[in-house]
Structure 1
Amino acid sequence: MPQSPTAHDPNDIQEFNLDAVAGILQDEKLDYRIDEHDGEKVIRTGFINAAISFILLDGSLTMEAMWRGAPSTDAAAQVLAATNEWNLTQFAPTIRFFELNEGTLAINALRHVVVSAGMSHNQVGSYVMSSIESAVQCFEWLEQQFPDLVTWKDEHHDH
């Protein structure tokens, strides 16, 4: 009698492939798309206040999230104080800001994990979902710090 293939144990360490991130997003029923940036595959998803990307670079999986709020460069001192407070008091993600274009700043969140030794399905899932959750929490905190920059409304928040 032929044996059926055995399912992989979700805790087994396997060589990391960015498709694992897409699989987690699909399992969680989150919309995503796959793009290419500078010759590298990028998985993008997002929420009302954030654009989130996952990319594999130099043996690390990086989550980068861009906040939708756009402070003016005149608010750089307040943005610096807020990013410093977040980074000093929170474990993840690390946030930073930079000039997006003349007169406008961008605030983004970063988180990395080394994947060169491989990851299990459960490790990938934990990293992806905790990265998304921490970015969303960070950006909700930024909305409290800069309420005048919130120009969007989440119609699903009350559900």
Structure 2
Amino acid sequence: MPQTPPAEHPNDIQEFNLDAIVGILQDEKLDYRIDEHDGEKVIRTGFINAAISFIQLDDSLTMEAMWRGAPSTDAAAQILAATNEWNLTQFTPTVRFFELGEDTLAINALRHVVISAGMSRNQVGSFVMSSIESAVQCFEWLEQQFPDLVTWKDEHHDH
């Protein structure tokens, strides 16, 4: 990825570049990788219950997080009720679900920000970290709603 010259001050507005996300993730000591999807660069990170991606599409930056739980299509009514409840009572992220494969649903969370006017380092950092935090909170809430779908164990969770 081409490097954007660093701003003198973290509040200086610069043309947006995905390298800014890499810098934030590095500063926060979060693992990440850079992939390509349909010709677009994607920055991926994740946690025990979520795969999180950042991608620039046109004049927006999108965070998409996929929950690790895999409900069956038989649970669609319950999943619809839960996603509706989340979307009605929470500001962010927007949660949706779709059929992933035969008899399996996927639940994901989305958040967008317009970047056409540029962003400061602080704005990028705020978007990235609040997006990660809100997606993790959402997925923890889903785990409480559907504990039978939690098939993984977080060895690092403080209980």
The CA distance in 1 between the partners of 2:128 and 2:44, in whole Å, is 12
Query: Match for residue 62 of structure 1?
Result: 62
SS at match of 1:127: helix
SS at match of 2:74: helix
Instruction: Note the alpha carbon deviations across 1:11-67, whole angstroms, 9 max, x for none.
Output: 000000011001100000000000000000000000000000000001100000000
Length-normalised TM-score, structure 2: 0.95
SS at match of 1:138: helix
Contact persistence 2:7–2:14 (CA under 8 A): no
Length-normalised TM-score, structure 1: 0.95
Query: Match for residue 3 of structure 1?
Result: none
The CA distance in 1 between the partners of 2:140 and 2:78, in whole Å, is 17
Query: Match for residue 10 of structure 2?
Result: 10
Amino acid at match of 1:28: E
| Larger Rg over CA atoms | 1
The CA distance in 2 between the partners of 1:158 and 1:26, in whole Å, is 24
Confirm or deny that 1:139 pairs with 2:139: yes
Amino acid at match of 2:81: A
Name segments (4+ residues, structure 1) moved above 4 Å.
none
Shift of 1:87: 0.1
SS at match of 2:22: helix
The CA distance in 2 between the partners of 1:45 and 1:84, in whole Å, is 26
Alignment of 1:110-125 (within 5 A): 110-125=110-125
Q: What is the Cα-based RMSD across aligned positions, in Å?
A: 1.1
SS at match of 1:82: helix
Alignment of 1:3-152 (within 5 A): 8-152=8-152
Contact persistence 2:51–2:66 (CA under 8 A): yes
Instruction: Note the alpha carbon deviations across 1:83-139, whole angstroms, 9 max, x for none.
Output: 000000000000000000010000000000000100000000000000000000000
Aligned residues: 154
Unaligned 5+ residue runs, structure 1? 1-5
Shift of 1:158: 1.3
